[in-house]
Amino acid sequence: MKTSLIKLLIVPVLIFSCSNNSELENIDETITSNENKKVLLIRSEEPNQDNSYYEEDLYIFYLENTIVKQHKLKEDLLLKIEQGEEELIEKLEALQKSIEKNQQTLKFFRIRPRVPGLPPPPVPCPKKITSCRIPLSSYNFIVTNKDLKGILVKIKTKEGEVISYNKELFPAENFEGLPTIRLEKKDYSGDVTLSITKFSPVHEREITYDINATID
């Protein structure tokens, strides 16, 4: 009888003990899950390899596309001049000077020493294709060179409406404190133009360039 009574007393204690351990484990798992989500959220809000572009890479992308367009225009002008439109010779000469200038600039930025650990450049357009667009959906930051004296980034719709106006810089911890700008996209979806204005210490002048982009 005593043995049976002891067993009856022990069983609820064991059940209660097991039940409590299970609840604690569930609480711990929930806390861990929430903490992991917070860490992932924080990481997604910080500039990193997956959500950032380096501004000089964007400029190289622009120059490459511009030179391709200029060569196509040059071919068209040469054809028209051969057909007798000699008044276009002056325009052709100016275009050739612009091509050479852009090629020199492109060469400079291609051989310019690159800071280790920067985000990868955008995928180049296929050969002789200039209508491709860089993705912006998952890209929220543009990292800049430490010597850049100022930058303004606008995102415009196909109709020319400015949906984002960004100029505030902050140091990106993941990129050795390089000045970085956050892109605000206001939940817009569709084809856009990424318009960048910067004061280049290399050329000691303001440069503005546009890149075709898309937000899914």
Residue matched to tokens 């806390």: 31
Residue 35 lies in a domain: no
**Structure token pair of residue 2:** 């005593």
Mean per-residue pLDDT over the chain, rounded: 82
- Give the Å distances, CA to CA, from 166 to 44, 154, 156, 191, 197: 19, 6, 12, 18, 11
Residue 114 is given by DSSP the state: -
Residue 29 lies in a domain: no
**Structure token pair of residue 99:** 């091509």
Residue 93 lies in a domain: yes
Residue 152 lies in a domain: yes
Q: pLDDT (tens digit, 9 = 90+) per residue, 78-113? A: 999 999 999 999 999 999 999 999 999 999 999 988
**Residue 114 pLDDT:** 86
**HSE on the CB side for 143, CA within 13 Å?**
26
**Residue 27 pLDDT:** 29
Residue 43 lies in a domain: no
Residue 160 lies in a domain: yes
Range of the domain at 207: 52-215
**Residue 147 pLDDT:** 85
Residue 139 lies in a domain: yes
Number of structural domains found in the chain? 1
Element (H, E) at 156: strand 151-157
Q: Are 81 and 88 in contact (CB under 8 A)?
A: yes
Helix residue ranges, H only, the chain: 2-45, 55-82, 89-111
- Output the CA torsion 62→68→70→73 (10° steps): -140
Query: In the chain, which stretches have pLDDT less than 50?
Result: 1-43
Give dist(CA 181, CA 184) in Å, integer: 10
